Amino acid sequence: MHLKSYLAAAIYGLPALAHAAPSPASGSSSSASSSSSDPHFKTYTIKAENITATLIPYGARLTSLLVPDRDGNEQDVIVGYDDPKTYLHDSETNRTFFGAVVGRYANRIKNGTFSIDGTAYHIPENENGGRDTLHGGSVGYDMRNWTVTSHTDSAITFSLLDQGLENFPGDVISYATFSVSTQKSAENPKGLPQLTTKLVSLALTQKTPIMLANHLYWNLNAFKNPTILNDTLLQLPLSERFIVGDGILIPTGEIGDVDTAYSGALDFTEPKLIGKDIDKTTGLCGTGCTGYDTCWLVDRPAAYGAGDTVVPTVRVASEKTGISLEIATNQAAMQVYTCNGQNGSIATKDSQAKRNKAQDGNPGAAFVNKYGCVVFETEDWIDGINQPQWGRRPYQIAGPDDGPVVNFATYQFGTI
């Protein structure tokens, strides 16, 4: 969404980027060193009552989020690694995008191509044998060294100057701000632990696609169970429609109804276990795939006002730990991925295993299994730049005369 009120904030701090460490060069996996002294893998902690977040500059990445369960025990609900340097290895091998900001354009672009004002552009395809671009290309924002521009006890802001990276047109400056709070407000009357994220991007030189997203992997049962299927309840209260994809998850242009497609398996307008209808989804997440990797649309009732009003889009809770999460955002869609591609080859965090051992006498799941987590990406309609009939191009293409593109979301935690 373009919000001109963020203009001054987006421009502020621009000169500091002249001193930023170089980002990985296009065509290489990363220029970041795995040395323990490398500032891009330095951990930064922000805290408020009952919520502690840890982040690193590499990918502007959330690596840990500690919140209390129903018994008051602290749990880490973010999937990732204890050792920050492991994220570099991940980029060079699995490239899971654990916890990172993805861009310049999140999700998929068909054939790595798009056009603006009659000019065609081609960016590197990095998925499905060259048939699409995923999360910004071969070296996306998840593999860039962001700069810390401010850090307080409860907030941190990273910045990245993108000068035509991955062959995208023009230059873009982006800020990723993470903050935590338990302050009571109209949106949080109980003062629950809350993480707030703001991704603010400004096109500096020419029109370009911009659609950043946080790629956060969640496990609210804290790996006390091997999967999330039978203990994690999900509700998408404003999502009665979804974007239909082909066998490699590229939009076909069709918009489907959740109550009829796949025998109602996509209908989460009322809470239900994530695994309740998953057996009905074969082919939904790609040819031969069973699970969810789907873009649900967020249809705001007229009572909410403008189309970019912040509204609750996800409610999810673990019956095992009692931890609940509500996500509210100004975005028009929500991509949900149930970790169908995980195969048990990535170990879970040793830090959480120790918590589980101390609390339960059992370390829990040793590996991130298939269906062992879930991703929620607040974003716009995927590949909307190649589907003009949807009318989303004005929200996904910005130039120097436009206000910033802003992805705003809150993550509010409670217990059931």
| 269 contacts: CB under 8 Å, gap ≥ 6 | 235, 236, 237, 239, 240, 258
> Please, what is the average pLDDT of the chain?
92
Report yes or no: 241 and 298 within 8 Å, Cβ to Cβ: no
> Which residue range is the domain that position 368 belongs to?
4-415
When pLDDT is cut at 50, 70 and 90, the band that residue 56 belongs to is very high
- Could you give the 3-state DSSP secondary structure of residue 353? helix
Identify the pLDDT of residue 36.
52
Domain count, the chain: 1
Q: Which of 125, 166, 240, 377 is catalytic?
A: 377
Task: Tell me: pLDDT of 309 over 90.
Answer: yes
Handedness of CA 236, 239, 241, 247 (dihedral sign): negative
* Ordered DSSP codes for 204-261: -SS-EE-B-EEEEEE-TTTTSSS-STTTEEEE-TT--EEEEE-TTS-EEEEEEETTTG
pLDDT at res. 25: 34
**Residues 24 and 31 sit within 8 Å (Cβ to Cβ):** yes
Active site residue 319: no
Residue 363 belongs to a domain with what CATH number?
A: 2.70.98.10
Q: Given 2, 40, 135, 215, which residue is catalytic?
A: 215
Q: How far apart are CA 136 and CA 150, in angstroms?
A: 25
Look at residue 32 in the predicted model and tell me its pLDDT: 32
Strands 232-235 vs 311-318: parallel, antiparallel or unpaired? antiparallel
pLDDT digits (tens, 9 = 90+) for 160-185: 999 999 999 999 999 999 999 999 99
Distance CA 297, CA 366 (A): 35
Question: Given this model, what pLDDT does residue 1 score?
Answer: 59
CB 66 within 8 A of CB 75: yes
Q: Could you read off the pLDDT of 387-407 as tens digits, one per residue?
A: 999 999 999 999 999 999 999
Neighbours of 180 (CB within 10 A): 24
Average pLDDT value for residue range 64-79:
98
Overall average pLDDT of the 109-130 stretch: 97
Question: How is residue 300 written in tokens?
Answer: 């705001």
| Dihedral of alpha carbons 297, 301, 304, 307, sign | positive
In the chain, the amino acid numbered 280 is K
194-232 per-position pLDDT tens digit: 999 999 999 999 999 999 999 999 999 999 999 999 999
- Which pLDDT value is given to residue 244? 98
CA–centroid distance for 105 within its chain: 12
Res 206: pLDDT: 98
Q: Is the peptide bond before 144 cis (omega within 30 degrees of 0)?
A: no
**Is 215 among the catalytic positions?**
yes
Q: DSSP labels for 247-316?
A: TTS-EEEEEEETTTGGGGTT--SS-EETTSSGGG-TTTTSTT--S-EEEEE----GGG-STT--EEEEEE
